[in-house]
Structure 1
Amino acid sequence: MTAHPRTLTADRFEADRPLLRAVAHRLLGSLGEADDAVQETWLRASRADIGEVENLTAWLTTVVGRVSLNMLRSRRTRREEPLELQPGEEVAAGGGGDPAEEALLADEVGVALLVVLDTLGPDERLAFVLHDLFAVPFDAIAPLIERTPATTRQLASRARRRVRGGTPPVADAARQRQVVEAFLAATRGGDFDALLALLHPDVVLTADRFVVPTPGPVSLSGGRSVAESAMTAAGRARYTGPALLDGRVGLVMAPLGRLRLALLFTVADERITGIEIVADRERLAALEVAVPGA
């Protein structure tokens, strides 16, 4: 007598959907693309015979990993890169994810981590995300990228070094990070007085010509002028988070994990004396971005 194949029920899949969505989001950097990957995972899994699957959650994780890997490789082949889009437009172009939820997830994951992941090759990204972030064994990851477990381990290790960065952070990085995070919180919250208290009275802000854009660089001086400028740019803070930039604590704005803007801070006596805003793509590409405290 022939046994009937056992198939996946929708209720059982829904139990793992939050995990699968989290895996896909970290692999793809885009909420819209992550939802597409999860939907494709359901289509594949619902047609499969799962009779011999011992750990269904682990199996579904590898399926969504394979789907996401194919999407990463396809993206790299097309080399798709939105040109000069505004932050909100970039999110829309990335697969239709809800901008508010996209920003919330970026905060939870860490904007700097998404930026670093975006610089990794698809195989490195998969090995690091599945192993380091979701504890998938290398033996299970290796078949997805057609590598040996030992080579997969090396890929994850290489990615891990990129996440941590090669440039040692400055000696007072922890204190600087507190100041920079307070600056971001005040900007997001529209708290002008808190922002003004963080700025030295003689603070100088410079921005390259690609930030606005303008025919030339922009320079402002004085706490009140810089605070007012920060308030007008509060919308940019949605996809912004702390990062190590060449070993210094700063901020990166990165919709969908794609670096668009960097803020370099000079801090003295727990007050900000200088802010440099960089949007020039060549300069951004030259920055070593790492995750604070990784």
Structure 2
Amino acid sequence: MEIKKSGMISIVGRPNVGKSTLTNALVGEKIAIVSNKPQTTRNRICAVVNRNDCQYVFLDTPGLHRARTKLGDYMVNVVKQSVADVDAILLLVEPIPHIGGPEAELIGRIKQLGVPSVLVINKIDTVEKEQLLAVMQAYGQAHDFNAILPISAKNGEGVDELLDLLAEFLPEGPQLFPEDMITDQPERQVCAEIIREKLLLCLDKEIPHGTAVEVTRFSERDNEIIDLDATIYCEKASHKGIIIGKGGAMLKKVSTLARTDIEAFMGTKVFLQTWVKVKENWRDNINLIHNFGYKDE
């Protein structure tokens, strides 16, 4: 199928509304990490979907939140940059009939830019249909959205309808990315993010937010097995002990879960080795933030 229309669409919203879950549902593959903890996504992730004669380039962004570290500043900046120069903005919200601070700020930005916008109400599997009307009404009064669509990113309900709807906003023109490409993230970056997702899944409270993962070796053997060495950085020596766990049990659990997902993503067997190092206050060190792959394009 020849691509006749292509364009960029930003997915924005507060932390934890399901932006990464929606990105994965749109692509049909896991390229954005997901957890039930806020601020899981740190970078802008580019997801490419080819459907019928359209190529959609989705930008999955970190949740808009109040920054408390230099890493937080970087994440907020990524959101603000991601709504400029796009063909449409998709504001993802929860089914709550009240507009919070982050939503109000994003609606203000949408108005300022005058970009076509679609309100997508996620997690409709968690509420009664009647409640959705109040949500639609509250947002409809705040901004004249081009369309409002209720979906469930988790179970895929409404995802096809969303793509049909967004096709209207794509300008005519050739494809922006090669046909077999589903993300602009380097493979080693996706692998590092998968390891970080498992840290978010397995560890409590603040500890996983203070972690970063650096892939130090990524090499393919003749038989296609991939050797992957990764260093997990944390901010305190006490955190290092928790990440490693008794007799190395926690690190082994994280690594095993990560390896399963990395093998599915790479489509081949992976030999993964992980280490843990302490880098105090790295989230406030701009050089280390850049080192760990969080940098402006």
- TM-score tier by shorter-chain length is under 0.3
- The TM-score, its normalising length taken from structure 2, stands at 0.25
TM-score (norm 1): 0.25
The structure whose residues are more often helix, as a share, is: 1
Larger Rg: 1
Question: Whose strand fraction is larger, Structure 1's or Structure 2's?
Answer: 2
